Amino acid sequence: MDFSNFWSTVWLFFWCFAFVAYLFALFAIIGDLFRDRSLNGWWKAVWIIFLIFVPFLTALIYLIARGAGMAQRSQREANQAQAAVDAHIREVTNASSPADEIAKAKALLDAGTITPQEYEHLKSTALGGRTA
């Protein structure tokens, strides 16, 4: 390939871009194949074999035939990940600090609901299991 003229360089960049785009599509397809629980193992193996031996045509056929399901599976996985993150954030923000736990235990002690020994136990638990 002659790199002396401008259009050869543009052509090289175009093919590099096309190759990288194909790799992204290929990894998305393989990820979708293993994420799809409705497709049995033999069909997954057939898709993989065709992706190895006839890569461009198979990728195009897969994206046309299964593209809508691919988007739905990806959206479902993103929603599940977001729900897990939201649940974790709610769990962390609802957790009270050791000072809050000790204040609650002190209020129970002052009200006569718990004994001084129980208060010390709750206090040491709030402080991470350290004994006073």
Do residues 72 and 104 share a domain? no
What does the block give as tokens for 108? 């129970």
**Cα 79 to the chain's mean position, in Å?**
10
Do residues 79 and 105 share a domain? no
Do residues 82 and 116 share a domain? no
Helices 41-53 and 55-94 cross at an angle (nearest 10°) of 130
Q: How many domains does the chain have?
A: 2
Do residues 42 and 91 share a domain? yes
Do residues 37 and 59 share a domain? yes
Digit-coded pLDDT (tens) for 21-44: 999 999 999 999 988 888 899 999
Digit-coded pLDDT (tens) for 109-118: 999 899 999 9
In percent, how much of the chain has pLDDT > 70? Answer: 93
Do residues 102 and 82 share a domain? no
Neighbours of 86 (CB within 10 A): 10
Residue among 104, 96, 29 nearest 66 (CA): 29
pLDDT of residue 130: 53
Digit-coded pLDDT (tens) for 80-122: 999 999 998 888 777 677 888 888 889 999 998 999 999 999 8
> What is the overall mean pLDDT for the chain?
88
Structural domain boundaries enclosing 120: 96-132
